[in-house]
Every structure is written in C-alpha cells, then in structure tokens.
A and B are shown apart, each in its own frame.
Chain A
Amino acid sequence: MSATEQYIAEITALARKLAPGPVRLMEVCGTHTVSIARGGIRDILPESVAMLSGPGCPVCVTPDSVIDAAISLASQPGVIIATFGDMVKVPGTEKSLERARAEGADVRMIYSPMDGLEIARQNPAKKIVFIAAGFETTQPGNALTIERAKAEGAKNYFVIPAGKLIPPAMRALLDDKESRLDGFLCPGHVSVIIGANAYRPIARDYGKPCVVAGFEPDEIIEGIAMLVRMLAEKKSGVEIQYKKIVNAEGNAKAREILDRVYYAGDSEWRGLGMIPKSGFLLKPEYADYDAFAHFGIALHPSRARKGCRCGEVLQGKIAPFECPLFGKGCTPEHPIGPCMVSSEGACGAYYRYNRKRV
C-alpha cells in the first residue's frame, strides 16, 4: 500500500469510531481548495469525513464595493489598475475589471507588487492603483513595496488595502454554532509568515485540532489523517504536516514589516460580513498611499445578490451543489457570487473539477 492509501485506511477506520459523523473539517486556503478539487481527493475520502472549503480565496472574499471602487478608478483617465490574476473577472455590482478593460480602462495583470511600482516609475504622468488583496503570505511583499514607494518619494503609486487575516476568520466561523466544524486544515504558506503558533489560541479557546498542511494531494491527505487522529484521541492543539516549510514561530522579520505598514482593522468579507481586526489597513504614516483616501472614495454597503448563497457555502453550511443557482445562472463564465469566480472559490473549484459524478 502506498503511504496515501495507508492514510486513507487510517482515516476511514478512525472516522468510524467518531460516529455519528460525518467529521467536518474545513480548509481556509484557496490553494488547498484547488488542490483538493483537482486531486479528486473527496473521491477517495470516506463519506464519514467531510472536507469543506472555507473563505480561503482572497479574490472571492473581496467585497463588491471594493471591486466597484477599483472599476470607477479604472474608468478615470490617467489611472492604471494593477492587479493579480483572477481579480479581473470578479463581478462588481455592474461589471468586472475585465469588462471595464474591454470598455477602455487600463487594467494590467502583474505577478509581483514590485511590478506595480515599476509601472508607476515608467508612467510618471499616470496614477497606478494596485489592488492589494491576499492573505498573510502576500501582504509582507505589498508592505515592502509601499515602504519602497515612500522611500523613493513616489507620488503616483497607490494601493487599495484589500488584504485580510486568516485567524480572525477562523474564529468567526467557529463562533457560528451552525457551522459545526470539528477541525481546520491550516494554510501552508500563510503559516510560513504567521507560524503554527498563531493557531494555538484558536485551538485552545474552541477545543479544536488544527493541522498545517502542504499543497500536494498526498500532503493534504496526510494532514487530514493527522486531524482525524487528533479527534479520535480527543486532542486539541496544533500540529504541522508541512514540516519542511512551516515551524512554530514563522517569519518574525516578515511580521515586523507588516507591523511597520499595516494595522489590523475591521474588514468586510464578501459572504461573511464584517469581521473585527481582520483586514490589513494602512497606518497613518502611509495614508498617502491609500487609494481610497487619495481619490476620495467611500465604499458603499454591500448588496447581496438575489438567491446567492455564497455566505452559507463559505461558512461550510451548504455544499456548492446545494445552492440553487449552482450551474444554473451561476457559472464561471457568468458568476453571480464570489465563490464561483475563481477556481480557488469553493463553487468555482467544485464546478470546474468535480461537478459531474462520472
């Protein structure tokens, strides 16, 4: 038997003892969402273990008010919007950045926030607005770029501070008794920055097991085995599957960088609502780089779309295919809610990789 097959056997045997199941585990990382769906992992897990996909997709949890703000900026002459990949397809209230680009807006996809600053250097007569979405993995790089912009005296580089923190979202999910979550698979690369210790207070306060896992299907399966083992032993706490990369302390230097530029403020998560201290907001010394402040934009309150049940999907309360709009009216080409937009969203991943039981 391969190691993976052994883990599956162990998971199956232990989950039987944890009846009445199913054991409900959640991951909160878009890359885990994709890897689980692409790997067909739910096919080989026993029915007694439900592997749920939570709000781990940074693009998916960006409120449509933020997208609308970016689109209104994009439509202004002399403004260039710089963003990572999937963000261009996220629907705002009326349209996406992709559509705005078709209508003439200057929207550019970049790989690193440093590329955004470079665009600013090369286009002194224009204003560059970078949508700084992402979780703790991405924010230190964003922060360094903002520091560099300030050090260079850049006058035409701005960010939309859309970054979010994962642990507060985990707490919000656990605070909701209806979620009934038994344990968390924790994001591998976020944990490189924040360290496995970041989850200890959550594990302790809620009495749940947390395992930091890597991204290959076999690593995820091992992570699930470790979670089920902890549940069988009635253990709460944090363990690390992704040992090569993750340790207890994380990257203190990266966290210092975050602290210099950002503070944790209240932030709205599309589908989940307002979560306290869950957003990376710019400290006063960097207020000049805040696109909202500079352009005088106020975010409108979010409007939920009729029939859209993304909130419940993100909280693990319903599966993607249980949403009446799934595949009917809500598809990757015409996404109604955030979960479908990106292949990292629970619905997007399920639709793209698993929607047909063949």
Chain B
Amino acid sequence: MKENRILLAHGGGGTMMHNLIGETILGKLGNPILNALGDSAVIQISNQRIAFTTDSFVVRPLFFNGGDIGKLAVCGTVNDLAMAGARPLFLSLGFIIEEGLEGAVFERVVESIRETAAEARVMVVTGDTKVVEKGKADGLFINTSGIGVIRPGVAISAGRVKAGDVVLINGNMGDHGIAVISKREGLAFETQIASDCAPLNHLVSKILDECEDIHFFRDPTRGGVAATLNEVAEQGKVKIELFEKDLPVSPRTQAACDMLGFDPLYVPNEGKMLVICEEADAERVLGVMRGDPLGISAAIIGRVTEEGEGVVLLHTKVGGKRIVDMPYGEQLPRIC
C-alpha cells in the first residue's frame, strides 16, 4: 500500500478503493471466487448455484428523503443478489449501535427493515447486535449478508459482454446521492429529491422471464454509473460508448448537481440497475423495464463497441468525445 493511512477516498468506490482491494485484500485472501469481485459470490453447493453477498451500511444521516439506513440495508443486499441473477431468499443482519442512540430511532430502523424485507419477499434469519461507546459508531452501522439461488440458465458475467451489446438503465441517475447529501450540514438544502432506494429483484425476475440471455447486470451504487461501467469495461475488456443526450437525469437532480458541482454519472444510486444484453433483445428488455414501476424512465444509454482495451467513452451533445473515467477518491462520503 502506497499510503500509510486509510483515507475516506479508499471507501469511495473509485480507483483508490479498487487498488486497496486488489493489492491488500485479494493479495492476501484471493481465490477464484473472490477474485471475480462480483456483486455476489457465485458458489456451487450440491447442484445448486448459490449467490452469497455481504454489505455494510454507514450512511449519514440515518434518515433521508425516500429511505433510511434500514431500507438501504435490505435493498443493498437484495440487489447484490439480484444482480447475480439470483432469487434473494435469506438475510443476516448485524447491528453496531452507538451508546446513546434513541430507542425510538432504533425501532424506526428495524420497522423499516421489516417493511422492506416484506416488499422484497426475503426473510431475516440470523443476526447480531453490538453496542459500542459513545463516539465510536456515529449512531448506527449495519452489516448484512444475503443468500439466494441463481436461476438456472442464467449466466451473468462481465466476460459475457461483447461488441454489439446494448447498455440500458432502468431510470434516472443520481437521486440517492443528492437526497442524502441534501441532509448533510455544510451542504444542507431543501429538496424533494428522494432516494431511489428500492429492491430490484422483482424487476430482475421480469427481465429474466422475458430474456434469460442477459449478459450482465450491476447496480451503480458508490461511484455511480461511471464506476460501474468502468468495472465492466475493465473486467470484460470492452469499450463502452455512451451518448450524453440519452442519459436520464431528472431536472431537479441535474439542477442540484449543477449547483454543487457534481456529475450525475458519478452520483450513487440505490434503486438503479445497468443491463447489458444482445442488441436483438434490447427493445424487449426496455419494454419490460418501462412496464414496471421501477423502470418507467428506463433508457438505452450506450453500446459496447469493441473488444480489447477496457474504456468508457461519452459522445457529448456538441459532437465531441470524452473519457468517462473511474472516479478518483472521494466524491460524496458516507452516501451508502
């Protein structure tokens, strides 16, 4: 590790985090399953393919427009499983609670977990609770893990992405990050932008019902769509070309981004998924997404054009081109 201390940037979903994972974590713990660095690990048990994932939630503040840390915890893990083409079934739930947290706040969070788990049709089956001294956990941290069964016939992997494929997203970028940041001191502004936090497993099911041959799913959380597409491009060794005019962003979120100097491509989402499929399947997949409440603003945002070097490019509105890089360091801290 080049730095001798961990910086906030190491948790940002960008290059520094990837380097930390690659060098220190994979360096010491690497194995074929872990090295794939999927949203979920894909494990073979008997003749079942199981998806297994874990996530930690450190969002600040705990409550924001459209959600809270509890809802986020369930959706984050459910979505990681869904992105592997799995049907999410069971979650574990670990709490690290800061001494002094109001009981009512904790209850609200647990209620939120209950509601969201019911919506996603998953069950919390095991958990753990720890309390640490005041000042050591910023209210509440949550860790979840989840397992699900991968649908037979489905093979989601960056390796399957190839030239000619189409890239789609199920709706507007950036709402979650802006909703959370609007509640932070120092940046506080009043907005009706709500987090898009939602469980995507039902939408994923519908898409797979229509088209089992999806090449790739991933949810663009930290680092936004830019980070996720760069991961795919790098892992799949493909060039992805996006079209600025086709990127869906709500006017309100764009205005907030303009005000704060953020690029919606880099702002985290918690209810969005990127889909990469064959050109021949794209229209049908788009149709399925648009027919679902979580996909009303779904759009085709780009294409995979070449195999070889992993790079993401954007065609700008004035006819120029620019790179869409992996984010460097910390864009928006503690967003999820």
A contact residues vs B (CB 8 Å cutoff): 4-5, 37-44, 85, 89, 98-99, 101-103, 108-111, 115, 119, 217-218, 221, 331-334, 352-356, 358
How distant is the Cα of A354 from the Cα of B323 in the complex, in angstroms?
6
Looking at the assembled complex, report how far the CB atom of A56 sits from the nearest CB atom of chain B, in whole angstroms: 15
Can you list 10 pairs linking A and B with CB atoms under 8 Å apart? A43-B320, A98-B8, A98-B9, A101-B8, A111-B187, A115-B186, A217-B317, A221-B318, A333-B328, A354-B323
Contact residues in A for B37 (Cβ distance below 8 Å): none
Whether A333 and B317, one on each chain, are in contact in the complex, defined by CB atoms closer than 8 angstroms, is no
Q: Considering residues B315, B317, B322, which has the most beta carbons from chain A within 10 angstroms of its beta carbon? A: B322
- Give the Cβ gap from A49 to chain B, nearest Cβ, in Å: 14
B239 near A39: Cβ-Cβ < 8 Å? no
- Is the beta-carbon distance between A333 and B320 smaller than 8 angstroms? no
User: Is B321's CB under 8 angstroms from A40's CB?
Assistant: yes
Contact of A39 among B2, B320, B328 (CB under 8 A): B320
Which B residues between 306 and 333 are near A, CB-CB below 8 angstroms? 311, 313-323, 325, 328-330
Of the candidates B7, B186, B318, the one whose C-beta lies within 8 Å of that of A98 is: B7
Say whether B6 contacts A217, CB under 8 Å.
no
Would you call B187 and A40 a contact (CB within 8 A)?
no
Instruction: Give every chain A residue within 8 A of B315 (Cβ-Cβ).
Output: 40
Tell whether, in the assembled complex, residue A333 and residue B323 are in contact, meaning their CB atoms are under 8 Å apart.
no
Nearest residue (CB) in A for B15 is A333
> Which residues of B are interface residues toward A (Cβ below 8 A)?
2-3, 5-9, 15-16, 186-187, 239, 260-261, 311, 313-323, 325, 328-330
With CB as the reference atom, state the residue of chain B lying closest to A37. B322
Q: Identify the interface centre among B2, B8, B16, B261: most chain A CB within 10 Å of its CB.
A: B261
User: B16 contacts A333, CB within 8 Å?
Assistant: yes
Asked if B8 and A40 make an inter-chain contact with CB atoms under 8 angstroms apart, the answer reads no
Q: Given known contacts A98-B7, A102-B5, A332-B328, is B320 in contact with A42 (CB within 8 Å)?
A: yes
Q: A85-B261, A89-B329, A358-B311 are in contact. Are A102 and B322 (CB under 8 A)?
A: no
Contacts of A217 in B (CB 8 A): 316-318, 320
Q: How far is the CA of A111 from the CA of B259 in the complex (A)?
A: 10
Q: Give the distance in Å from the alpha carbon of A119 to the alpha carbon of B319 in the complex.
A: 45
Q: In the complex, what residues of B have CB within 8 A of residue A98's CB?
A: 7-9, 329-330
With contact pairs A40-B318, A353-B322 given, residues A109 and B186 touching in the complex (Cβ less than 8 Å): yes
Asked, given contacts A108-B186, A111-B187, whether A44 binds B320 with beta carbons under 8 Å apart, the answer is yes
CA distance A110 to B322 in the complex (A): 30
Residues of A close to B7: CB separation below 8 A = 98-99, 102
Whether the pair B316, A356 counts as a contact (CB closer than 8 A) is no
A352 B318 Cβ-Cβ under 8 A: no
Which residues of the partner chain B approach A332 to less than 8 Å between Cβ atoms?
A: 328-329
Question: Are B313 and A111 in contact, with the CB atoms below 8 A?
Answer: no
A101: chain B residues at CB < 8 Å are 8
Task: Please measure, in the bound complex, the distance between the C-alpha atom of A347 and the C-alpha atom of B330, giving whole angstroms.
Answer: 19
| Chain B, residue nearest A122 (CB) | B185
Taking each of B8, B186, B320, B328, which has the highest tally of chain A beta carbons within 10 Å of its own beta carbon? B320
Q: List B contacts of A41 (CB < 8 A).
A: 318, 320
Complex Cα distance, B328 from A89, in Å, reads 11
Kindly state the separation between the CA atoms of A89 and B15 in the bound complex, as whole angstroms.
15
Q: Give the top 9 A-B pairs by smallest Cβ distance, nearest first.
A: A40-B320, A43-B320, A353-B322, A332-B328, A217-B318, A40-B316, A40-B321, A40-B322, A110-B186
Q: How far is the CA of A119 from the CA of B187 in the complex (A)?
A: 12
